[in-house]
Structure 1
């Protein structure tokens, strides 16, 4: 499990692509490699990945075809930067909201506004996932726990403070980029339960 509080930014050192499998060699800040073990879980842009090997300051992860198809990991190349979070341990503070690291879908950046000391990102989301997005609700974007701003018929936006931009890769996003989305599990359960009971979400 993860908290959605991004711990830092890592850099893709190398991607080795084989049929149905890619191995990601990712360089991490040394201070975040303490007591890393083979088999440990690390969220890479929100996707839960398993450490297969350590080589100095680099950790290696294998991404199978299903992961490459459902996330943005298949688009990563040497030099790209990613958000990361090591798995939560018992007793850790939950500063965001609980995440599984299982990506539901991807969204595309369709708008970026940068008023002074703020940043608003607008995303287009596949229709079947919009039913789980509510104003002021939780959502995880590239592994970061964020609060939804407004919701439209095609997507939603989020408002970012300077600290979030500093601690994540969001400052590098441009219109057209894709991001990984994990919807809030509690919201998903409530919506699906109400649907089974015959309730529908009000229009508008």
Structure 2
């Protein structure tokens, strides 16, 4: 589990595709790797990955074909910036919201505008995901825990404060960019419970 509070920005160091997925290496000079061991989970742009190798300022992880299909990982290239968060520890506070690291799908940035010191983004999503998104509810965008400002028929608006714009990769997003989305885990489980009544 994660909180959606990004701990560091890193970059794609290497990407090797194969017939069942890919192997990625990610580097970061600002992520604390001192407590990371092989088998640990690290969220990369909101996707929970398992560490299979560690070097001084980098780690390697396998990425399944399923993850390539439902996330933006298939479009990542060497040098691309990524958001990083190590897995939540039981003795750690939760500042964002509970994030599983299991991406539900992709969204597309369709509008971007300054509002005072903040930046408002409009993100279009598949109709199948809109029902899980609530005004003033939580959503994860590229691993970042955010509050939904408003809901549209085909998407939602978020307002990102200056700190988040600089502490994550969201400030680099442009119109037309795709993002990883994870809807609120409670909404997904509620639907499953109601369907199975």
Please give the range of the TM-score, normalised by the shorter of the 2 chains.
Answer: over 0.9
Aligned-residue offset at 1:189 = 2.6
Indicate the residue corresponding to 1:138 in structure 2: 138
Task: State the distance in 1 between where 2:129 and 2:31 align.
Answer: 37
Gaps of 5+ in 2: none
Aligned length: 197
Task: State the distance in 2 between where 1:193 and 1:90 align.
Answer: 27
SS at match of 1:114: strand
Indicate the residue corresponding to 1:172 in structure 2: 172
SS at match of 2:115: coil
Q: Kindly tell me: are residues 31 and 49 of structure 1, through their superposed partners in 2, closer, same or farther at Cα, counting changes over 3 Å?
A: closer
Normalising by structure 2, we get a TM-score of 0.95
Task: State the distance in 2 between where 1:149 and 1:196 align.
Answer: 31
Structure of higher CA gyration radius: 1
Aligned-residue offset at 1:21 = 2.0
**Alpha-carbon displacement from aligned partner over 1:127-176 (angstroms, at most 9, x marks no partner):** 01100111101111111111001101010010000001011000111111
Aligned-residue offset at 1:17 = 1.4
Indicate the residue corresponding to 2:182 in structure 1: 182
Normalising by structure 1, we get a TM-score of 0.92
Aligned-residue offset at 1:23 = 1.1
Indicate the residue corresponding to 1:48 in structure 2: 48
Task: State the distance in 2 between where 1:50 and 1:74 align.
Answer: 17
1:185-204 equivalent positions in 2, closer than 5 A = 185-194=185-194
Question: For the aligned residues, what is the CA RMSD?
Answer: 1.4
Do structure 1's residue 97 and structure 2's residue 97 form an aligned pair? yes
Indicate the residue corresponding to 2:35 in structure 1: 35
Aligned-residue offset at 1:191 = 4.2
SS at match of 2:39: coil
List, as ranges, runs of 4+ consecutive aligned residues in structure 1 with deviation greater than 4 Å.
191-197
Q: Which stretch of the first structure deviates more once superposed, 188-197 or 97-106?
A: 188-197
Gaps of 5+ in 1: 198-204
